[in-house]
A = this chain, B = another copy of it.
Amino acid sequence: MERIPILKMGDFLLVTIQVDLYDQLAENLESDLINTINKHSSKGVLIDISAVSIIDSFMGRILGNIAVMAKILDAQTVVVGMQPAVAITLVELGLSLNGVISALNVEKGMDLLRAKMYKGDNEEQIDDDNSDQ
Contact = CB atoms under 8 A, between A and B. Distances in A.
A contact residues, range:
20 to 34
A8 B81 CA distance: 11
A116 interface: no
Contacts of A5: 16, 18, 48, 50-51, 81
Contacts of A110: 9
Report copies per complex: 2
Contacts of A106: 7-9, 14
Most B CB contacts (10 A, CB to CB) among A2, A3, A10, A16 go to: A16
Contacts of A51: 2-5
Nearest to A7: B106
